[in-house]
Chains A and B, each alone.
Chain A
Amino acid sequence: MATKSLKARHLELADHNRQLEILNGGLFEEGELPYFKDKIAEIGEFPLKPRNLEILQINVGYMCNQVCEHCHVDAGPDRKEIMTRETMELCLEVIRNTGAHTLDLTGGAPEMNPDFRWFVEEASKAGIKDFIVRSNLTIIRANKKYHDLPQFFKKHNIHVVSSMPHYTKGKTDKQRGDGVFDKSIKALQELNAVGYGMPDSPLRLDLVYNPSGAFLPSDQAAMERDFKKALKEDFDISFHNLFAITNLPISRFLDYLIASENYDDYMISLVDAYNPSAVQNVMCTNTISVSWDGWLYDCDFNQMLDLKVASKVQHIREYNEDILQNRNIIISQHCYGCTAGAGSSCQGVVT
């Protein structure tokens, strides 16, 4: 398992243009598979338009204490991109004025941003209904200075959404690195200890399942049942919901697909599993994604491909919801990942 990002290893897939070349070429260029835009045109959804803004997703930096094999952010300890307090101030102004009811902080490990706690405290005052922090769990155990995160989250009524690829050690460590499973279990127990994830608790703890390989997630409800049973029986851990998320073929997951000679078959699986009823609810239709340096994107995946919003408003400093609502959403072949099967988003299935 690699311990550095694609960027630190100077690999060609660290370049978003190269990723787009691959996504637009191969089976699609040869006519074997239909382009995503043609597929959604069949149901009258091209160009894809946004609905009401509900979620403001802010990526506060690509730095992470883990180097997961499937990471679409290409995050890791060697990534130095980090949101400054100045950009956070701009985000706070938008948070106070936006129609969004959900604030979704992501990374990297968002907790590693030195201004993370300040930002959470300030954003908490803005009256957002659902304040999500996407935690990789191990950060809570990574260093003494993070040990009190469960109490900090509780104090601000943060909705914790945590990565957990499987309820067995082998599968989890293979995707996320040796020792990740044991640390994640310990972190979940600590979150439970302060009240997170208990059946009637208002302290929401949801888990995110990403397949650990070149296959799609199965039925989310069935997976949730299996996770709940195994984690309760083996470790006395409780949580609320499991979000099953399809891995999108970009960045490190794309690198894995190509290196393991699974790319073509994976794209065929995504296209075969295309579900037109998922199109209207894909996350880009109700989300704006903000990068560490304040640029605006339709989703976190477009952010990593540097596909900025198609609007005259492209940066948080000039944020204007009315103008943004009139944009066309930028799509490419990776979007098949969000419309496969029951559909996929940062909140799990969409149908």
Chain B
Amino acid sequence: MAVTLAQAINQALHDAMTEDERVLVFGEDVGKLGGVFRVTDKLQETFSEARCFDTPLAESGIIGTAIGLAMYGYRPVPEMQFDGFTYPAFEQIVSHLAKMPNRSRGTVKLPVTIRIPYGGGIGAVEHHSESPEAYWAHTQGLKVFTPGTPDDAYSMMRAAIAMDDPVIFLEPKRRYWMKSETELPVQTEAPHRAVVRREGTDVSVFCYGPMVRTAMEAAEAAADEGWSLEVVDLRSLNPLDTPTIVASVQRTGRAVVVHEAAQTLGMGAEIAARIQERAFYSLEAPVLRATGYDTPYPPAKLEEFWLPDVDRILDLVERTLAY
């Protein structure tokens, strides 16, 4: 059966709410409307307004009350309607959600899964196409997951909700309509593991979320050039599955990291650092990064020039092969 990534998340929320009545879904427009991307479609109808409810338009309020609800014993799954609207909740996320379990020496557990549609490529207006993953990945105490396929979207969402740790769940909004032939429920690899999506011998391409598909397309195109790319879908940005990253580079000797977010201090910087720390003698070339530019996210008509695409990835693959 063809399932879109959005439907897979909807089904995951539905199944989690069925299995555990402590699971609550709330946020702006998640009830009657079913979310602006319809990811929460029919949950209110099925589970009542008590368990899937619309909140006032206040992001800090959504996350701050989620913390209180989790302290009480619920498993909240709040939605931040868009990436760029998460910033008002920044303090609640970094100062409380991430730290309270540690500050309390483990007596307080906060099993909160924050859903954030993120990234560009849908022609949205300003503040609707941000890639803030580095903020969350830099904040210790959070786990940061981002699926790149419908199967993972289902399985990783179920795992995130079942976890006692707070999770930032980044949903690649340009892939909401991406389909896979799958039967739900499906269980994929544990969410903290990176997965080799395509094996190759020349260059490792590290990607996640919306760029998984782009990297796979680049690998297809590269094959026409006679280059064998290994595509590694990181899936979890914190923790990072360093052994899988290192093993891949040890096989190929070359690495290109791909992400939409701006380059400076992005995930690519961390991955490059880990590779040179642990696989220095395997490297045939410097680790390169195919990323967004170090500018604010551009207007929609220019985003195709800003976002990394197959060509930008292949250019870097060629550069790394030239060493």
Are A and B associated in one complex? no
Binding site for A on B (CB under 8 A): none
